[in-house]
Structure 1
Amino acid sequence: MRILNLKNLIFSGFLTAISFTNISAQDAWINISQDQKIPKLLELKIEMSEANKIGDRYKIQLFYGDNNEASEVFKDYESKHSYPAMIDYETPNYKVYVGNFRNRLEADRALLEIKENFPGAFIPKPKRR
């Protein structure tokens, strides 16, 4: 019981001492200096995000095989759909990918449209970068 009273007495004395001091956060000035490289890095990050070079993104895979067939699938796809497509080379085969979707829901919606013309299309698990 005495310990609790002693702790309360010390705490109330501390609060009283603080209340008599005139401390104000508005009296101090804060100067923030920014490195000159930060704006350049932000621009680079924006460019990489727009070029889809960072982050986990979902893509739809249409084809996996040799170069000639991949080119034909790519041309056939571009004549029927508007999502951006690309041919990627992974030794020893070529893959045709469609889109660069932020989440699985967007990719699934596009997959429903694409499956009408390309029934073998699927969404592979995105790679971490």
Structure 2
Amino acid sequence: MNLSAQEGNYNVNQDEKISKLLEIKTGMSRESKIGDRYKIQLFYGDNNEASEVYKKYSSEFDYPAIIDYETPNYKVYVGNFRNRLEADRALLKIKEAFPGAFIPKPKRR
């Protein structure tokens, strides 16, 4: 990479791996695999009940939902909100149908 500055030209040698790492990080950020994100937890317990909660939720709301297995329970999570304000707004709507819903503290992955 060649750069120009007020006092002349400079040649910067950058390892190819840096560009590749930046591409991977950008992709992971887009897919929400890194960083602090807020989710709403609707349920934890056995698989059958988690499936029922998931079905009920999916028929009423549009936020994406997943069933996640964390030993020994299944958990139903909703959304992938960038900030607490977005999550709180969604939680107000969701609590009408799921009064036990809450926002757990986000984990750093």
Report sequence identity in percent. Answer: 78
Residues of 1 paired with 2:24 and 2:47: CA distance?
33
Provide the residue aligned with 1:73 in structure 2: 53
Is 1:104 paired with 2:88?
Answer: no
CA RMSD across the alignment: 1.3
TM-score, normalising length from structure 1? 0.76
Provide the residue aligned with 2:25 in structure 1: 45
Superposed, 1:1-129 pairs within 5 Å as 26-129=6-109
Per-residue Cα deviation, 1:4-47 (whole angstroms, up to 9, x for no partner) = xxxxxxxxxxxxxxxxxxxxx73421112222122221221122
Provide the residue aligned with 1:19 in structure 2: none
Residues of 2 paired with 1:53 and 1:82: CA distance?
21
The AA in structure 1 aligned to 2:81 is F
**Counterpart secondary structure, 2:33:** coil
Residues of 1 paired with 2:27 and 2:8: CA distance?
39
**Counterpart secondary structure, 2:48:** helix
**Counterpart secondary structure, 1:64:** strand
Q: C-alpha displacement at 1:51, in angstroms?
A: 2.0
TM-score, normalising length from structure 2? 0.89
- Tell me the number of residue pairs that the alignment of Structure 1 and Structure 2 aligns: 105
More helix by share: 1
Tell me which of the two structures has the higher relative contact order, counting C-alpha pairs closer than 8 angstroms and 6 or more residues apart: 2
